Chain A
Amino acid sequence: MAAINFGYTISKPRAIDLDRNNLRKSDEILHEMPELQTCIGCGACTAVCTAGNLTDFNFRRTHTLVRRGEYEGIYAEMNKCMLCGKCRLVCPRGINTRAVVMLVKRKLGDF
């Protein structure tokens, strides 16, 4: 706590710092589902997502944040998925996206 009240504090940067983030959980997820590395980030999963149509759930954004070590609030976010699996039908890389949701929830339940 600063002794002087300056009326402002140092803003936290919005940049993702890969040197500081702990990527252990992310690496574990990629180890168990290496196919996730083939994601080209096209966003088709998000475009067809029913949950995303009704809430602000964005599967592409969420799993990308996980891969960069940004785990805060991810479990609650993945809980918005209703596991209908329509994203699996459109993924051009054939990634088992529903399994990704389950795996992330299992690994990041504490965050």
Chain B
Amino acid sequence: MMKRRSWQEYQKEIADDNYYYARSCIRQNFFPGSEKAFIDILHNDLGKDLLDDPKHSSCTGIGYHSDIVPLETIMTVVARQFSLMNDAGYKNFVTSCITSFGIYNEILATWEEFPETEERTREYLYKATGREFRKPQSLAHTSDVVFHFREEIARRARHLLVNATTGEPLKVVEHIGCHYAKIFPKSGIGGSEFPYVLAGMIESWGGEVVDYPERRHCCGFGFRNYLVQANRGYSIANSHKKLESMAPYKPDFIVANCPGCAMFLDKWQYTIAEMEGTTYGENGHGIPVLTYEEMAGLVLGYDPWTLGMQMHQVDVEPLLDKMGIEYDPAAKYLGRNGKYIGKPASAVVNCCPTDTIYDIRE
């Protein structure tokens, strides 16, 4: 519902079909099932065409933001991705990473403002690879695409973001990530001022968004703030500030848009618990942190262990129980083909209700 005219400025066109998919370089390590879940949801549940091209590379965004990769180099790498998309016959570029999304937006805007940089990039790309490129017709983040189909997903929902016992909506903290809409506010749904991309999914799937004071605060990743060990105190202080601010609202889980944010909001909970003994979730444990693909996957009835949720720092079982999702506790640390993948040591942020079962299998 459009209540204010200014809200219209924050809408964006999202293509309906035929996507060229650019993966993140770090997500596979932290939330390994999320990208696969996105592909499965688009292919199997929504019947859309999406190309997962093995030829594309990292966008080199982390190197760029750490002052290791020069601007000319990253522009040429991005131009190569667009060239690969042209080769495959696609026009709608979809990226799975907020850093990459910011990079693509920044470079397209730079080419627009300073056409000579685009000409130079064309020259570099041709000299390096013999390739030419056309810019994409549309650029979207994967969460934009999930947002676009949120009502369709709601119609197919097997579980809602509702407490199965009480019928109350789950309280969800959403975090859109700085590079989604703070660099170019008009390129993200709702901008950074009215972050709606995840809030829209939560509302459509029955949950309740927590509007807490530090909702728009950075998670603390900030590239060189984290990459240099001596600076990490500053990085963790940002997550600490957010967690302190959201805890009084007793959120059932956090959903994050960005690979870095999901990782830091999840793993810093462990570090804060070790350093200060503070935990923010129920019963002295942590608050589960999900990616939006995992949230969509749970709503559509995917198995939590297929979604890779055993790789989280904070255990997700309390959330699964609340939503009334059935899962096999003994299968948690069994990878593909039933092979035992090892399990993390117990930590105060985890609840570990079935520790003994895994020990027997070990």
Contact = CB atoms under 8 A, between A and B. Distances in A.
Interface of A: 2-4, 6-13
B237 A6 contact: no
B45 interface: no
Interface string B199-241: 0000000000000000000000000000001111110110011
A12 B229 CA distance: 16
A2 B230 CA distance: 17
B241 A13 contact: yes
A54 to B, nearest CB: 35
B237 A12 contact: yes
B241 A2 contact: no
Interface of B: 229-234, 236-237, 240-241, 271-272, 274-276
Contacts of A4: 274
Given A2-B274, A2-B275, A3-B274, A8 B237 contact: no
A4 B277 CA distance: 12
Given A13-B237, A13-B241, A8 B230 contact: yes
Q: Is the interface of A mostly helix, strand, loop or mixed?
A: loop
B240 to A, nearest CB: 5
Contact of B233 (A2, A3, A11): A11
Contacts of A8: 229-233, 236
B26 to A, nearest CB: 21
Given A8-B231, A10-B276, 6 more contacts: A2-B274, A4-B274, A7-B229, A7-B232, A8-B229, A9-B275
Contact of A6 (B234, B240, B241, B271): B271
A10 B275 contact: yes
A11 B275 contact: no
A10 B236 contact: yes
Interface centre among A3, A8, A9, A13 (most CB of B within 10 A): A8
A13 B245 CA distance: 14
A11 B271 CA distance: 13
Nearest to B271: A6
A10 B237 contact: yes
**Minimum-distance CB pairs A-B, first 7:** A11-B233, A11-B237, A8-B233, A8-B232, A2-B275, A11-B234, A7-B229
29 contacts: A2-B274, A2-B275, A2-B276, A3-B274, A6-B271, A6-B274, A6-B275, A7-B229, A7-B230, A8-B229, A8-B230, A8-B231, A8-B233, A8-B236, A9-B233, A9-B275, A10-B233, A10-B236, A10-B237, A10-B240, A10-B272, A10-B275, A10-B276, A11-B233, A11-B234, A11-B237, A12-B237, A13-B237, A13-B241
